[in-house]
Structure 1
Amino acid sequence: MFKTRYFTVDPDHPDPTVINQAAGYIRTGELLAFPTETVYGLGADALNAGAVEKIFIAKGRPADHPLLIHVSRVEQVEALALVIPAAARRLIGHFWPGPLSIILPSRPQVPGIVRGNKSGVGFRMPSHPVSIALLNETGPLAAPSANLYGRPSPTNAEHVRQDMDGRIAAVLDAGETGNGLESTIIDFCEGIKVIRRGGIALEEIEDILGQGISLNSSAQGNKNAYDLKVKVLLSEGENDFYQQMEQCLQISKLIGVVRIIGRNKPLKGSFHQEYFLDLTGRGNSWFAILRDAEQRKLDYLLVEPLDQKTEGISASIMDRIKRAAALKPK
C-alpha cells in the first residue's frame, strides 16, 4: 500500500516545479493520476513494461485489455508506430490535441502489455494544459482512466481518491475535467473502424475523412459495463418510466431521477434526488451523476426516456447510459 501524495496544480497555468515533482514518480516506475480534458488518467512510462504492469494491478484490469499511449507531439507517434496512414494524419491535424484516439500498427519497442499483445497500439494527444505539461516532462505515458476496473470514470481528484488512494504513488489535482466523456477511438490497423464512441462525434470524423465509418460491435454494445452501487433504470417510454418509478417506490424511498435538459415536461411522483444531464456534453457529466448518486446511497437512478435517433456527442453519452442501465427494477 502507498501513502498516495496529492499535488494541487492550477489547471490553466501549471507550476513547472509541481509538474517536475510529479513527473519524478513516472521516472522511478511508479503510477501517477493526472487530468485530461475528458477524465483523469492513470499514467505509467509507456516503454517500461514493469511500470505498466502496475496499472493492471492497481485497477484490477484484465491483462488482455490494451492501453492508450498519451503523447504531446506527433513525433512521438512516428517513433512508436510503423506507419501513419494519410487518413489518420488528417484526423490528427484536425482533432489533436483533443479527445480522439487512433490505433496504428505498432513498432516492436512498444511493450506487449501496453498493446494487449495485439499488433496495433492506440495514441491520444490530450489538450488539458496539465497533461501536456506532464507529457513534455515524461515522454509518452500509457494511461487508462484512473478508476478501478468497471467503475465510472473519474472527473475529479476526489473520484480518483475513492478508487485509487493507497494503490498509486501520486495524483495531480487540477479540479474538475471537462464533460467526463472519454475519447473516441478509431482503429486504422485493418480498414477504418470506430472502436468506441466518445468526445468527438462520429459525424465530425466522417466529414473530415469524406466517407462513412463502420462501428465495431464493441462500439455499439449495450452490455452492463459498470460495477455500480446504484441501479440505473432506463425506460422505453413515458408509461414505462412511471411504472418503473412506482415499482421502485414500493421497494425504496431513495430514488434519483435524471432529467434531460431541454425537456420541460414536469415529472409526477416522489423522488429523493433530481439531476440534470445535458446530452450535448456541457454541464454535469454522466459519470459525476453516477458517483454522486452512490455517495448519497441512492438505490435507484431513473433516466428519462431517451430519443433513440440522437446523433453526435449525444449518441456517445447515451451509449454510456445504456451500458450502466438494467432493464427492470429488482
Structure 2
Amino acid sequence: MSVYTAHDEWLEPTKAAIAAGKVICLPTDTVYGVGANAFSADAVTALLEAKSRTRQKPPPVLVASIEQAQSLVESVPEAAHKLAEAFWPGALTIILPAKPTIGWDLGETNGTVALRMPNHPMALELLTAVGPLAVTSANITGQPPANTVEEARAQLGDAVAVYLDAGRGGGGVPSSIVRFNSDTEMELIRAGAIASADLERVSGLELA
C-alpha cells in the first residue's frame, strides 16, 4: 500500500497499479473514490470486493472528457450532450446504453453504463492518462463515504494498492443521476447537486 500527495511523483506508480489490475483510491469533487480498470473483469471484481459490494450494484465509470464518454456508448442523444457540455466536469451522472462490443463486465448493468466527469484536477489528470475507470465511493458498503484519505484507509486498508491524497474532499451533495431510456425520454434516478429544473431547461426534456 502506497500513499501519494499531489506534490509527489504519483502518476506513474498509479498507472502501473491500474495496469496490474489493482484498486486505487482517488479524490473527486464530491467524496474520495476507489477505482480500477473498467476493462478488466478481475480488476472490477477486486473493486467490488474491496467495498463488500455485490455485482447487483455496478460501479459508475469516470471519464476525462465527452469524447471518452462517446467511445463507450452506442450513441449520445442531443439532450445528453447538452447536459454534459453544461454540467461536466461536475456532479452529474448520465446513464446511457453501452456499446455491446465494449468487452467489459461491470456487473448487472442491463447493458447500460453510468458516466461522470469529476471536477477535480488530480482525477482528471489520471483519467486523461489511463482512460476511463470504474469508480465508486471509497467506503465499505453501508458505511459513511470517505472525505479524507485517512477515512478511506481506515475502512479499506490493504485492499487498495495506491491512495492519492489531495486533502479533504468536496463532500456535500452527491451527483444527480439521469438515465436516457430513449433519445427523448429522460428519467431522474437520483436527485442531487443539480436542480431538476436546470436539467430540464438545459436538456429541453421533461424528467420522467
TM range (shorter): over 0.9
Deviation at 1:108, TM superposition (A): 2.2
Which of 189, 196, 206 is the equivalent residue of 1:202?
Answer: 196
State whether structure 2 residue 5 is matched by structure 1 residue 8: yes
Q: Which runs of 5+ in 1 are unaligned?
A: 215-330
Instruction: Measure, in 2, the Cα distance between the counterparts of 1:186 and 1:8.
Output: 33
TM-score using structure 1 length = 0.59
> Contact 1:39 / 1:178 at 8 angstroms: preserved in 2?
yes
Task: Give the alignment's Cα RMSD to 1 decimal.
Answer: 1.6
Number of residue equivalences: 206
Q: Please, which of 111, 117, 130 is the counterpart of residue 119 of structure 1?
A: 111
Q: Report if the CA contact (8 A) 1:146-1:160 is conserved.
A: yes
Rg larger in structure: 1
Preserved contact between residue 40 and residue 104 of structure 2 (Cα < 8 Å): no
Between 162-171 and 28-37, the greater mean CA deviation after superposition? 162-171
Q: Equivalent residues in 2 for 1:267-286 (5 A)?
A: none
* 1:212-246 CA-partner distances (Å, limit 9, x unpaired): 313xxxxxxxxxxxxxxxxxxxxxxxxxxxxxxxx
In structure 2, runs of 5+ residues without a counterpart are none
The CA deviation string for residues 177-209 of structure 1, in whole angstroms up to 9 with x for no partner, is 113332111101352111112222222212212
Match of 2:37 in 1: 45
The alpha carbon displacement at 1:88 in A equals 0.1
Query: Retained in 2: the 8 A contact 1:100–1:184?
Result: yes
Match of 1:69 in 2: 61
In the TM superposition, 1:139-218 aligns within 5 A as 139-190=131-182, 191-214=185-208
Aligned partner of 1:31 in structure 2 is 23
What is the DSSP-based 3-state SS (H/G/I as helix, E as strand, rest coil) of the residue aligned with 2:94? strand
Aligned twin of 1:85: 77
SS in 1 for 2:127: helix
Residue identity in the other structure for 1:203: A
Partner of 2:46: 54
Larger RCO (CA within 8 A; separation ≥ 6): 2
Secondary structure of the structure 2 residue equivalent to 1:200: coil
TM value normalised by structure 2: 0.92
Aligned residue type for 2:15: A
**Separation in 1, partners of 2:139, 2:28:** 14
Question: Aligned letter for 2:193?
Answer: G
Cα separation, partners in 2 of 1:30 and 1:117, compared to 1, 3 Å: same
